[in-house]
Amino acid sequence: MGNDILMDVQHLSHIFRLNRKVKVHAVDDVSFQIKKGEIYGLVGESGSGKSTVARCVMNIYKPSAGEIYYKGIPVCKNREFKKNRKMLQMTRQMIFQDSASSLNPGMKVRDIVAEPLRIQSRKICTDKKEIEKQLEMVGLDGSYLEKHPYELSGGQRQRVAIARALFAKPDLIVADEPIASLDVSIQAQMINLFRKLQKEQGFSFLFIAHDLSMVKFLCNRTGVMYHGKLVEEGTTEDVFSHPDHEYTKALLAAIPVPDPRKERNRRVMKCYEG
């Protein structure tokens, strides 16, 4: 693994067994790498397996086959994971789609943000000024410190989740559909925030989404998943400009076009081609 590679996913597979006879191949022989300081987009429709990949990467699920190397460590091996647990917990953070369920409703914002450091018994976690500074970084002021998640809007909760993830200064952030449940106007704000924070802090970012327009704006490289397989991968510019797989072409064709004339021309071209 090269010095510029932070995470290397090799031939990853994950099978869900519904019963003794029925099993679902959620992820089937998926391989990709994420470089240091890179934003990697993983796209696909619901059920494509992208969220399962995220959970395998974060050791929430144990893969059925394959290996995941993080900083050269085979994290799917129990012995290696236990030996490096503290480092892995600090340097990898995850942002979930549903901020309402990922934030403890009984905790105040100040405690939620400091949670990763409190787990590691770091003294800084009790410093109110540091927590307030972390909130300001994601666009919230000190008035939110004493609030509970149920007192916040969806966008505000997600900002708290981002602040929590970044407080430990991780090297890798995995964001699983982090804007899907937000209003369109808030989605754009969150994407701009992600881009700003990644540029400032330089962390690697696995961004999982089904909205290709957001991926095009944010990501350096993109992988496309379909029925559990990674069917296409490349620089985001190449994937969007010169797609090879038919599924990628279908996803790109489904992106809304604001100009009715372009939309009409696209439909005419489709009819002409087939």
HEC readout, the chain:
CCCCEEEEEEEEEEEEECCCCCEEEEEEEEEEEEECCCEEEEECCCCCCHHHHHHHHCCCCCCCEEEEEECCEECCCHHHHHHCHHHHHHHEEEECCCHHHHCCCCCCHHHHHCHHHHHCCCHHHHCHHHHHHHHHHCCCCHHHCCCCHHHCCHHHHHHHHHHHHHHCCCCEEEEECCCCCCCHHHHHHHHHHHHHHHHHHCCEEEEEECCHHHHHHHCCEEEEEECCEEEEEEEHHHHHHCCCCHHHHHHHHCCCCCCHHHHHHHHHHHHHHC
Provide the domain limits for residue 164.
5-266
Lowest mean pLDDT, pick from 59-68, 99-108, 112-121: 112-121
Average pLDDT, the chain: 88
pLDDT at position 125 is 56
Task: Answer yes or no: is 273 within a domain.
Answer: no
Residue 172 maps to a domain? yes
Tell me, yes or no, whether 271 lies in a domain. Answer: no
pLDDT at residue 110 tops 80: yes
Residue 264's pLDDT band (cuts 50, 70, 90)? very low
pLDDT in the model for residue 255: 79
* 30 domain residue, yes or no: yes
What pLDDT sits at residue 267?
A: 44
What average pLDDT does range 130-134 have in this prediction?
Answer: 90
pLDDT at residue 270 greater than cutoff 50:
no
Residue 110 belongs to some domain of the structure: yes
Q: Report residue 268's pLDDT band, with 50, 70 and 90 as the boundaries.
A: very low
The answer to the question of residue 244 being in a domain is yes
The CATH number of residue 124's host domain is: 3.40.50.300
Which of 21-30, 35-44, 71-80, 120-129 shows the lowest mean pLDDT across its residues? Answer: 120-129
Number of domains observed in the structure of the chain? 1
Q: Does a structural domain hold residue 199?
A: yes
